[in-house]
Structure formats: C-alpha cells, structure tokens
Amino acid sequence: MALARLKNGIYSVNGCQPGPCSNLVLAVHPYYQFDPDSLAFMSSPKLFDESVGSYIYLGRFESLAKKEDMTLVTFEEAARMSFTAERYRRIGRQNNTYFIKTIQAGPQPAENEGGHLVEVPWNDVFDFLRLFEPADSTPISCVGGYYREIPFFSGCLNDAEYVLREAGLPVEVLKEITF
C-alpha cells in the first residue's frame, strides 16, 4: 500500500486527497496491543478490563475500519505505520485513509528528519482535520487506546481527545471501540 506524504507527519493512502465528509473516524494506535502481522496479543496492559476482551475490541475496530462510507485518520507510531497500513490493505481499507505519524507511546505528531523523529506542531494536524469538517459540525469519532474515563488519566486516546477539544474540534469517543 502506497503512503503519499501530504505534509510533515501527515500521509495519504494511495494519494487520496482530503475533503469534507460526514463520517470522520480518528483511530489512535489501534493495533498497539497486537502484532500487526499475526494479530497475536502481545501484552496485557495494566488497566485492561478483562471482561471486554482484546479480540472483541479488535473485531469491533476492524468492522468499523471496513466501512466504505467513512474517512479514517490513524495516529500511528512511526515504527508501526507501514505495518498498520498493510493490515488495512488486507482487511480492504484503502480509500479515504490517512495517517498521522507519532512518537512512540504517545499521540504527539512527528516526522523523520535526519535519522530521528522531530515533533510536528499540533496546529498542522488541526488544520488537516478541519479539511474534513462537514457543514453540520458532526463530531469526529475517536477509537483506539489507551482510554479510560478517569480524571487526569494519561493514555494516548485520552491525550489526543483532550488536545482536539482544546483546539475547538468536536469529538466523541466511541467507548465500545477502545482499550
């Protein structure tokens, strides 16, 4: 699957261009707990709710990702981005798909420069996400991990949600598709 660089830290799958959409989904490190090739469960997070089940989350996420009537923007660690893009290809997710490269274990946007990662300003990401805004201000649906409804919990999805809200972007977390 070809990833085309749109700007620092922001990539498009197969060269698709951003535009207004009525169903924008933002996935934060969606395969973090899984080997992206085999989908083997790699580790049990300390805060993982065993009653939900890791493969239940995975099934829900991939069912959502297969939908063609939405745009998917994925925040993914630089080292895992190509693996996640390949996984998307295998499940049939190719159109209206974008990646925002991040640092390891955090949602901070980043780009490779001179052999190491440098942070990309959040304002670049906000401007990019605003290209998808429909006229009716439909919220951005957020999925992935780590997420907990605990004050001051710092998980990648929690942190991304906070930063997006602070920028005035409408977001809603689809709690049934989080870990």
Q: Is residue 58 part of a domain?
A: yes
pLDDT tens for the chain, 179 residues: list them: 789 999 999 999 988 899 999 999 999 999 887 665 666 655 554 444 544 457 788 889 999 999 999 999 999 999 999 999 999 999 999 899 999 999 998 999 999 998 899 999 999 999 999 999 887 789 999 999 888 887 777 889 999 999 999 999 999 999 999 98
Q: Write the CATH number for 95.
A: 3.40.50
In this prediction the pTM is: 0.89
In-domain check, residue 92: yes
- Asked whether residue 77 is assigned to any structural domain, the reply reads yes
Please report whether residue 131 resides in a domain: yes
Distance between CA atoms of residues 22 and 33, nearest Å: 29
Angle between helices 81-91 and 54-65 (to 10 degrees): 70
| Number of domain units in the chain | 1
Q: Which residues pair with 112 in a beta bridge?
A: 117
- Domain annotation covers residue 43: no
In a domain, residue 27? The reply is yes
Q: Is 113 part of any domain?
A: yes
By residue range, what is the domain housing residue 83?
A: 3-37+49-147+155-178
Task: Answer yes or no: is 42 within a domain.
Answer: no
